[in-house]
Structure 1
């Protein structure tokens, strides 16, 4: 007769390992929060003394030397980093929303956001995205340099009318107006099949550019309706929002009829593929170019959640689009619902 202990051992081992990893993760988060609080307090003390006693650069230089001598095994007390602590405190101390959030990401992430972002709403966006998607420092820098904030706020979708209220803001922030595929080795002139094949050879950076929380399900995903076959170019799954994401690749300009085809795909996915506990499927039509007014009309009467975006091999965002960014109060409202 088999030993019941040995039969259950693998399950026990897996459960304990998961618990250990969970505890390690929580411990790391706690350490990070304490470090951010320490840097905040140091920044506050430096700023306060400067205001009271008129301290200048020489005091910070001396402070850095003394701290490094006192704590030789601890990094982070260079003069440059101490000035960053002061700037960190000075930037956020009078804000209402941001101070609790900055402790949820690493110090190097905070510095990148502090130095590369121009206003509080942009900083809040990247802090939230870093928390949500676990971006590394390099991925964060890439997202900022590719203007993900602007490209997300400018996106064209019909999600206000077609998705449940509780996930609407999260979903709107999951689709960009333009995607940058600078990791693809493609000539300026390429076919849709070449674009798809290039993406399939670089799935990981493709998923990162799409938002970092997608899982790849398949390419040329087959649907069958009344003995007729249909194929979705790329099918993804959004792990956080729990919904299928159908992507159609178009190497030319956007045409209104693309929306009808996507609606058909989404209806079939919802009926035949979507699981009962999942949210409605969404579609992203990726084109080489689009005219925003035509997209608005095409999406106006659509009853399925569809977004229309462009892709570039090199990142660009025309000045005229920058001028169309939503008002700050609209951006703040959008970020409120993103958890």
Structure 2
């Protein structure tokens, strides 16, 4: 068998495997989603029966115990009193908590809606995490983004722990923060794609570690999947140390990405220590080169992100033009933000309103 025949054989064999693999994954998602709807309806039955019993606390406990015993008899594990109590909470939280209809239409629904009209898009484990968020706006945001991006429970937890909602809210006015809870992250312009700070705890670098820019870049490449998730929707990796020559001088861009939603190149330059105005000028030169020599006419202007340990916002603002939509300076953190830091994000968000 020749080389081309081998390649062709591998191609159709892998295509067949992909079909089965995707079908199995879809079946698993359907089962998980069906159980989410079932648990919501169990919660409804418990709540409605409790309401029939008025305010008698003992009666409420008896309802939960009866449902737990009956379901356990037929279906086995998974229906302890604690779990049934969670189903009751699930109904109470989500029976009057509706995400916008336009978002529901975007995701679709493979199952009929609940008796309340509420649609669900995630597994029961996801909703157990979401229910612990008291802030309704934040809960909406994470539900939308988890469904839109196919986040696993682990990734949902990671995005929550890294304060994604707070970090995105920092760069938005009151109306922008409201839209986060109704539509998730929307890409209407370059600034919508940029976070400040970026949280890179997955690199395994401690806050006080000594490392070079080359090592930081290598760690990012080694954890490219996690870095892409941190960047957000639409990003595709193009290359590292992308070299270009201008007259007799040679330059290298640390990391180059392309964003399909914004239809433009996104350049990352990694900087240790405090950002300088010379760093900003260098990034502007990189952007000019890509805009004039690399991007196609139908593509949008290139974006540049200076990823640094520290920066002086006044210097950045003074160096860049007032209508800047191409050069962004963002700090990065190598550890997850503490509770105090997350509270600080929220204070800044409130000040911005």
Q: Quote the Cα distance in structure 1 between the aligned partners of 2:79 and 2:262.
A: 41
Matched residue of 1:56: which SS? helix
Please point out which of 44, 69, 72 is paired with 1:68.
Answer: 72
Does 2:213 correspond to 1:181? no
Q: Quote the Cα distance in structure 2 between the aligned partners of 1:52 and 1:39.
A: 20
Does 2:145 correspond to 1:129? yes
Is the deviation greater in 188-197 or in 44-53? 188-197
| CA 304–174 in structure 1, closer or farther in 2 if over 3 Å, else same | closer
User: Displacement, 1:232?
Assistant: 0.9
Which position in structure 1 is the counterpart of 2:240?
219
Which position in structure 2 is the counterpart of 1:247?
268
Contact 2:186–2:192 (Cα < 8 Å) also in 1: no
The correspondence of residues 24-103 of structure 1 with structure 2, limited to 5 A, is 24-54=24-54, 55-72=59-76, 76-97=78-99, 100=104, 103=120
User: Displacement, 1:287?
Assistant: 1.3
**Unpaired runs of at least 5, structure 1:** 1-5, 161-165, 331-339
Which position in structure 2 is the counterpart of 1:305?
326
Which position in structure 1 is the counterpart of 2:167?
151
Which position in structure 1 is the counterpart of 2:227?
206
Alpha-carbon RMSD: 3.7
| CA 210–309 in structure 1, closer or farther in 2 if over 3 Å, else same | same
User: Displacement, 1:209?
Assistant: 3.2
* Matched residue count: 315
Q: Quote the Cα distance in structure 1 between the aligned partners of 2:147 and 2:221.
A: 27
Matched residue of 1:324: which SS? helix
Contact 1:32–1:103 (Cα < 8 Å) also in 2: no
| CA 52–281 in structure 1, closer or farther in 2 if over 3 Å, else same | farther
Q: Deviations over 1:212-264 (max 9, x none)?
A: 76443322211233343221111223355554321111112233443333233
TM-score, structure 2 normalization: 0.74
Q: Quote the Cα distance in structure 2 between the aligned partners of 1:279 and 1:307.
A: 16
Contact 1:223–1:230 (Cα < 8 Å) also in 2: yes
Which position in structure 2 is the counterpart of 1:118?
134
Q: Quote the Cα distance in structure 2 between the aligned partners of 1:146 and 1:130.
A: 14
| Moved segments of 4+, more than 6 Å | 6-11
Higher relative CO (Cα under 8 Å, sequence separation at least 6) belongs to: 1
Q: Quote the Cα distance in structure 2 between the aligned partners of 1:10 and 1:194.
A: 37
| CA 69–323 in structure 1, closer or farther in 2 if over 3 Å, else same | same
Matched residue of 1:222: which SS? strand
| CA 155–245 in structure 1, closer or farther in 2 if over 3 Å, else same | same
Does 2:283 correspond to 1:262? yes
Q: Quote the Cα distance in structure 2 between the aligned partners of 1:321 and 1:121.
A: 16
